[in-house]
Amino acid sequence: MFALFCACGRAPRTAAKKYYWRCFNIGKELQINDAIRDREIRVVASDGTQLGIMSLLQAKNMAFQQNLDLVKIAPQATPPVCKIMDYGKYRFEQAKREKEARKNQHTVEIKEIRLSLGIDTHDFNTKMNHALRFLGEGNKVKVSIRMRSRQNIHPEFGFEVMNKFFDKLGGTAKKDEKGVVQEGRNILMILSPVKPK
């Protein structure tokens, strides 16, 4: 008779009983099979019925007879609650749920639009249409003007262009709590989309 070894190098007690030994690299949150060290546990069957409080050895044998795993699902309870389940299937379904949740989640990006003090009307309208498209997609827009050489003397012209840009957007955007600010040679404004009521 030979011993079957799993990926982690441990062998089951006997190969004759046909234990299907399961060794996974498990996260810190759940303990399965031999990682459970409690003397008495409350056991829940794979279909959800309560099997009552029993010793760890009895619960392990019951799980191995059904070719399933014993998973500790509530370690803080007294006695701890363990469920008999297929842990590989449970992890697969959990990963699938997390993937679906990430797919439905929209991440907000910050798109940047650069203006200049001497911007022409056509360029101004094009930049405004880009901002409207970004805001319509649910993203934030960072509008910036870089002041060059003698333009630094009159930052009020930059504030005027920024306010004109914001007014042309209508009610589709709202300013950040800082509003229009000057940081060094740059004049910045961050716009957020207005959620429809």
Q: Which domains does the chain have, with CATH numbers?
A: 1-94 (3.10.20.80), 110-193 (3.30.110.10)
pLDDT band at 197 (very low <50, low <70, confident <90, very high): low
pTM across the whole model:
0.49
State how far the Cα of 101 lies from the Cα of 185, in Å rounded to an integer.
Answer: 42
pLDDT at 15: 46
pLDDT at 87: 86
Three-state SS string across 151-182, please? Answer: HHHCHHHHHHHHHHHHHHCHHHEEECCCCCEE
pLDDT at 22: 54
pLDDT at 28: 53
Q: Is the pLDDT of residue 63 over 90?
A: no
State how far the Cα of 142 lies from the Cα of 190, in Å rounded to an integer.
Answer: 4
State how far the Cα of 29 lies from the Cα of 8, in Å rounded to an integer.
Answer: 20
pLDDT at 102: 83
State how far the Cα of 9 lies from the Cα of 5, in Å rounded to an integer.
Answer: 6
Q: Is the pLDDT of residue 114 over 80?
A: yes
What percentage of the chain carries pLDDT values higher than 90? 10
pLDDT digits (tens, 9 = 90+) for 83-99: 998 888 888 988 998 88
Measured CA distances, 191 to 2, 9, 13, 39 (Å): 70, 58, 66, 59
Tell me the mean pLDDT in the region 130-140.
89
Torsion sign, CA atoms 78, 83, 84, 86: negative
**How many residues in total does the chain contain?**
197
User: Which residue would you say has higher pLDDT here, 7 or 160?
Assistant: 160
Tell me the mean pLDDT in the region 144-167.
87
